[in-house]
Amino acid sequence: MPSNRTLQVGQLAAVEQESEARRPSPALTLTAALLGFALICLDASVVNVALPAIGSSFSSGMSGLQWVVDAYTLAFAALMLSTGAFSDRAGASRAYALGTVVFTLASVACGLAPNLPALIGARVVQGVAAAVVLPASLALVRQAYADPAKRARAVALWAAGGSAAVALGPVAGGALTTAWDWRGIFFVNLPVGLVILALLVRAPRSERRPAPLDLPGQVTAVLALTALTFAVIEGGAAGWAAGAVAVVAGAAFVRIEARQPHPVVPLGLFRDRTVTATVAAGAAVSVAFYSMVFVFSLFFQQVQGRSALTAGLMFLPMTGLIAVTNVVAGKLAGRYGPRLPMLVGQGLAAAGLLTLLYVDTGTPSALVAVLLVPMALGCALTVPPLTAAMMDAVPAERAGLAAGVLNSARQVSGGLGIAVFGALVSDGFVEGMRLSLVISAALLAVTFTLSCRLAGRAAS
């Protein structure tokens, strides 16, 4: 007969096996995190193709359409500076659930919006929620995988989900707007949000960790960015007043950050030339990519008279290659260092933008779709290496904060680019579009020069 000790060992093993069977699968947590990240990335690009339909529905001019995009982008970008700390304080799983609930409800509010101000207000709430979802989703992935190799693969899948969502955004927006209505691009978020929440029920709870919040810095950052965007979009006397508010708020932000023990944007980061160059390059790439998607969405529909679906399909050649190019860029950065693919990417993007100067009202839409590809490939080739360069330039304990600064700069720049270029095309579309292309190419030329200096220093 077996001894009592043998029985106890067997019972203990059975209990451990049962506990292991009940333990949530890391893949389940990854799926929940990936879906949420993909959802907020999709919402950043899906709206562009639906803008003419929204404008027709509410009899809105260009400034109203700019706010539909920028209300989301600016809230997302500005609050991302602090939501990482909020996620730590609340616990990643709780923060992620809260962000998902608010984002889903705000999406429904967008779909039900009776007028343009209500839609813009709901878009602001969406952006706030998205800023909470992004850092919390990445934190969930990190917590789910203890093994570094498995974690790296999981983070790569998480990032690929976001890239795929950005790529599918214009096509999905065109298809939903044509087959249903522009409101469908928001209502489709409801079932996805419910699936995420169902998956989160089985995900492990995250521990809360103390994390300092810089509320004065965050408030002044939001005020400065909002006022600056208002000044660009609205113009006139109100625009000048908003510009003055932006200057005062910006100065206050710099002063606060210089004195804060735990600032949302440590100004000392920018003493490093690599940090400055990568943030500038990320900003220039975002201006080029997001602003051109905005401008050419309107070009295909308002200038060439294409349907929303056709306009969405015109972006498929450029967006369909983004995820693949991101992977290639990562491999190139690993083999040759980040600076070489940064230079190639920025040069290709600038050349692609200048090639688009030949586009006019009579250019076949299919040809325009092909001409957009070099710009998009250049941007996709630049982002992973510049992110790697940024991470290499800061201490490990500041990596999360540096990533937040970089992503915020990219989102803010994309939003401001839309504000500026929207104002330019409203005074004469083709002429404004060409000026926008030149400005974008010039910004990339400046950051290309900064990257050249980094490459020379690294080689010496």
86, 438, 446 from 403: Cα distances, Å: 16, 29, 22
Buried b (16+ CB within 10 A) or exposed e, 240-274: eebbebbeebbebbeebbeebeebbbbeebeeeeb
Determine the Cα–Cα distance for residues 428 and 444; give it in Å rounded to an integer.
24
Determine the Cα–Cα distance for residues 250 and 217; give it in Å rounded to an integer.
10
Determine the Cα–Cα distance for residues 33 and 93; give it in Å rounded to an integer.
10
| Contact indicator for 312, 424 with CB cutoff of 8 Å | no
For 308, residues 6+ apart whose C-beta sits below 8 A from its C-beta are 49, 50, 52, 53, 173, 174, 177, 178, 301
Helix (H, G, I), strand (E, B) or coil at 111: helix
Q: Which CATH code for domain 268-460?
A: 1.20.1250.20
Buried b (16+ CB within 10 A) or exposed e, 278-312: bbbbbbbbbbbbbbbbbbbbbbbbbbbebbbbbbb
Q: Report residue 447 as tokens.
A: 């950051």
- pLDDT score for 259: 84
Question: Thinking of the domain 24-204, which architecture would CATH place it in?
Answer: Up-down Bundle (1.20)
| Contact indicator for 89, 214 with CB cutoff of 8 Å | no
Q: 10-residue block means of pLDDT along the chain (460 residues)?
A: 51 44 68 87 84 88 86 84 73 86 95 94 93 82 74 72 79 86 91 90 68 78 85 77 88 86 78 86 91 90 89 86 77 79 92 93 92 91 81 66 77 86 88 94 93 56
Within 10 A of 222 (CB to CB), how many other CB atoms are there? 19
